[in-house]
């Protein structure tokens, strides 16, 4: 009887130890995973820009008067020296005629008095006075002649007429712009860049510019960066120079501007993109991801990362195509943890 009781107790103890050992075995952690795949990308940042003329010139009369004729229209190509507009020159012509008559009279007096001066019959002071009157008459004639010429407005540069601000019959004021002439043989695309991103753009950063209105895509040239931020938006103005020999890009057109890495775009390299949430940081600042082996065991794998593309991060090295990584549920993982997915 005692032997039976002793055997029963021994059996119970063995079962209890077996249950404790089984309870120590940790259940696999449920996680979400993703198999790494390659993606061909360009490391680019895209912005909306506005096409601007390379240079704009406001053309105006130097005097006041009524515009008699306008000889150009908006959008018309003009050459340097081409007549743009004419002002009523009646008054200017009358002033020129009067100045011409005064100069003729002064020259005639000079010739008559010169005979007296040569004979010694004319005092020196009077001779100097006559010469001064001739000089004044000549000066007034030159001024009147220029005033008449200024009634004709010519293009100081070659380009395209942007805006016509004064029409025939209207009164033009001194220095008031009559037309603007735009140089669009090359243009600039203006983009506002957030302050956090402007430092990554240099004068030689490669750009691709797409203008739907002109059905044209071109590579940008030299970049000009502003140094003063907008007080409200905290953005900096950046201008990309673009050749425009066919003059299809016009001021005011909306453009899509991509600033990108020339090295990646030239090589066409295939890079790996992982969800941002899958990339973790160690205490020393290095980055790692949880990889899952074929036996469903997790391991820390150190990686090097580049720029983010939306909600995904570019992985430069450390991971190969086809590796399974943990994307969610990694909070309870440790080296060698078993997982189910």
Q: What is the pLDDT of residues 170-185, one digit of tens each?
A: 999 998 999 999 999 9
pLDDT surpassing 90 at residue 156: yes
d(CA 305, CA 260): 17
What rounded mean pLDDT belongs to the chain?
86
> Which of 78-92, 130-144, 314-328 is predicted with the least confidence, judged by mean pLDDT?
314-328
pLDDT score, position 266: 37
pLDDT surpassing 90 at residue 2: no
Give the fold, CATH level 3, of 29-43+268-340.
Answer: 2.40.420
Contacts of 291 (CB under 8 A, 6+ apart): 298, 299, 300, 301, 319, 323, 324, 325, 326
> Which of 80-89, 211-220, 311-320 is predicted with the least confidence, judged by mean pLDDT?
311-320
Q: How confident is the model at residue 4 (pLDDT cuts 50, 70, 90)?
A: low
Q: How confident is the model at residue 259 (pLDDT cuts 50, 70, 90)?
A: confident
93-125 residue pLDDT tens: 999 999 999 999 999 989 888 888 888 888 988
Give the fold, CATH level 3, of 89-150.
Answer: Helix Hairpins (1.10.287)
Residue 135, sorted as left (phi over 0), alpha (psi -120 to 50) or beta, turns out to be: alpha
d(CA 139, CA 134): 9
Residue of 179, 172, 157 whose CA lies nearest to 73: 179
pLDDT score, position 265: 39
pLDDT surpassing 80 at residue 33: yes
Q: How confident is the model at residue 13 (pLDDT cuts 50, 70, 90)?
A: low
d(CA 126, CA 122): 7
CB 195 within 8 A of CB 189: no
Q: How confident is the model at residue 20 (pLDDT cuts 50, 70, 90)?
A: very low
Give the fold, CATH level 3, of 46-53+186-265.
Answer: Elongation Factor Tu (Ef-tu); domain 3 (2.40.30)
Helix (H, G, I), strand (E, B) or coil at 245: coil
pLDDT score, position 7: 54
What letter does residue 36 receive in the DSSP assignment? -
For 192-216, what is the mean pLDDT?
Answer: 90
| Domain spans of the chain, in order of start | 29-43+268-340, 46-53+186-265, 89-150
């Amino acid at each position: 009887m005692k032997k039976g009781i002793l055997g029963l107790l021994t059996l119970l103890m063995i079962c209890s130890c077996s249950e404790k050992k089984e309870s120590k075995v940790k259940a696999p952690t449920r996680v979400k995973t993703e198999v790494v795949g390659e993606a061909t990308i360009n490391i680019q940042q895209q912005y909306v820009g506005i096409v601007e003329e390379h240079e704009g010139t406001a053309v105006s009369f130097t005097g006041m008067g009524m515009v008699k004729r306008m000889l150009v229209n908006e959008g018309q190509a003009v050459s340097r020296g081409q007549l743009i507009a004419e002002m009523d020159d009646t008054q200017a012509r009358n002033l020129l005629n009067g100045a011409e008559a005064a100069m003729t009279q002064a020259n005639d007096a000079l010739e008559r008095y010169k005979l007296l001066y040569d004979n010694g019959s004319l005092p020196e002071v009077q001779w100097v006075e006559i010469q001064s009157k001739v000089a004044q008459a000549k000066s007034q004639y030159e001024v009147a002649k220029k005033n008449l010429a200024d009634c004709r407005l010519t293009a100081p540069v070659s380009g395209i007429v942007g805006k016509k601000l004064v029409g025939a019959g209207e009164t033009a004021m001194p220095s008031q712009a009559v037309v603007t002439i735009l140089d669009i043989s090359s243009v600039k695309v203006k983009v506002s860049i957030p302050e956090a991103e402007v430092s990554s753009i240099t004068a030689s950063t490669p750009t691709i510019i797409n203008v739907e209105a002109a059905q044209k895509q071109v590579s940008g040239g030299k970049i000009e960066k502003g140094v003063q931020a907008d007080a409200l938006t905290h953005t900096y103005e950046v201008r990309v120079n673009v050749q425009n020999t066919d003059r299809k890009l016009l001021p005011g057109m909306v453009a899509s501007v991509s600033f990108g890495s020339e090295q990646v775009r030239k090589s066409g390299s295939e890079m790996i993109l992982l969800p941002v949430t899958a990339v973790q940081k160690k205490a020393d600042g290095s980055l790692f991801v949880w990889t899952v082996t074929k036996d469903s065991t997790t391991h820390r794998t150190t990686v090097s990362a580049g720029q983010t593309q939306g909600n995904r991060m570019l992985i430069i090295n450390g991971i190969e195509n086809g590796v399974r990584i943990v994307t969610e549920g990694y909070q309870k993982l440790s080296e060698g943890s078993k997982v189910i997915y």
